[in-house]
């Protein structure tokens, strides 16, 4: 039984020794690989390459941040320009509304002047008709007076004796009164005609002024419409450029974000690999220590057994 136990222990010891030898060889290989990786220029070049890539990505990130700052400044400037364009459009819209109001007032004044001119023309025609009627009445009265004078002279000639000092005082007074009335009517007509002519000239001047103001308002309105169209086109162009810059900036930010995520994932994977290697190495060290203890224990047992076997029978 003891020999069978010793044989079993020897088999186990051989297996443990073979495993320890294998693990020591693997540990030596790993140590050699780690030392070669640490001391070899390839590892240094890989680390330098990684650091260079990381530095390049940091520089690219700084450049993207600066470009983002410049784009934000350009966006702010464009926003200020758009606000200025909007304020200018509002001012021009207000000026346009004011011009429309002035144009409507000018049109109203023009209509009033036209109505006044038509009324003055109708009044002039009416006064002409009244003057013609007065002239006809005057001619009729004059003809009647001539007939009365002729009949009165015939009646005077029918007398046999001609009076020496006869003066037709009433007829002369009547003719004087008629001439004065006629002169007064003519003067009144002349004054009314002159007043009508003056008001007509004033109405014409007001009409021309209204027409000129209307033309100026239309020209100003056309200029304002042209400026408004130009400002609208510029606003659309600025909005398109701003949207394009926003899209470009968003695409670059997404690219840099993806690159940073890829680098972080790579760094995390490298950290995991390093931790795994260290953990394997720690496990190997623990296993080596446990195997060393077992080997020492089996050696002690073997030495004790060999000493016991070598002792004499007594």
First to last CA, the chain: 22
CB 98 within 8 A of CB 199: no
Chain centroid offset of residue 13 CA: 87
Q: Where does residue 210 rank: exposed (0-12), middle (13-18), buried (19+ CB within 10 A)?
A: buried
- Tens digits of residue pLDDT in 230-285: 888 888 888 888 888 888 888 888 887 888 888 888 888 888 888 888 888 888 88
Query: What is the rounded average pLDDT for all residues in the chain?
Result: 79
Among 131, 125, 120, 132, residue whose Cα is nearest residue 198 = 120
> Model's pTM, two decimal places?
0.33
Furthest-apart CA atoms within the chain: distance in Å: 231
177-192 mean pLDDT: 74
Cβ-proximal residues to 124 (8 Å cutoff; 6+ apart), any chain: 193, 196, 200
- pLDDT value for 170: 57
CA–CA separation, 291 and 283 (whole Å): 12
The domain ranges of the chain are 40-156+174-309
CA distances from 258 to 66, 250, 253, 261 (A): 18, 12, 9, 5
């Amino acid at each position: 039984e003891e020999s069978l136990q010793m044989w079993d222990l020897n088999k186990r010891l051989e297996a443990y020794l073979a495993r320890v030898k294998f693990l020591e060889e693997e540990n030596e290989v790993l140590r050699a690989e780690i030392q070669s990786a640490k001391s070899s220029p390839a590892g240094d070049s890989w680390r330098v390459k990684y650091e260079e890539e990381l530095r390049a990505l940091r520089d690219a990130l700084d450049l993207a941040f600066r470009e983002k700052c410049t784009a934000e400044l350009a966006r702010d400037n464009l926003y200020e320009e758009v606000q200025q364009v909007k304020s200018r459009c509002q001012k021009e819209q207000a000026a346009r509304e004011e011009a429309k109001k002035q144009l409507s007032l000018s049109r109203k004044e023009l209509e009033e002047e036209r109505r006044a001119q038509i009324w003055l023309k109708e009044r002039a025609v009416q006064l002409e008709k009244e003057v013609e009627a007065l002239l006809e009445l005057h001619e009729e009265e004059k003809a009647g007076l001539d007939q009365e004078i002729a009949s009165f002279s015939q009646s005077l000639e029918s007398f046999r004796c001609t009076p020496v000092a006869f003066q037709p005082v009433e007829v002369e007074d009547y003719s004087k009164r008629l001439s004065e009335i006629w002169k007064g009517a003519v003067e009144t007509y002349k004054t009314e005609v002159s007043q009508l002519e003056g008001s007509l000239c004033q109405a014409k001047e007001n009409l021309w002024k209204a027409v000129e103001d209307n033309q100026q308002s239309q020209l100003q309105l056309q200029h304002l419409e042209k400026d408004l169209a130009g400002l609208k086109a510029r606003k659309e162009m600025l909005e398109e450029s701003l949207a394009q810059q926003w899209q470009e900036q968003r695409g670059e930010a997404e690219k840099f974000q993806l690159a940073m995520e890829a680098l972080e994932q790579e760094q995390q994977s490298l950290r995991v690999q390093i931790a795994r290697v260290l953990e394997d190495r720690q496990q190997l060290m623990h296993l080596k220590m446990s195997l060393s203890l077992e080997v020492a224990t089996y050696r002690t047992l073997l030495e004790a057994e060999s000493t016991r076997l070598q002792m004499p029978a007594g």
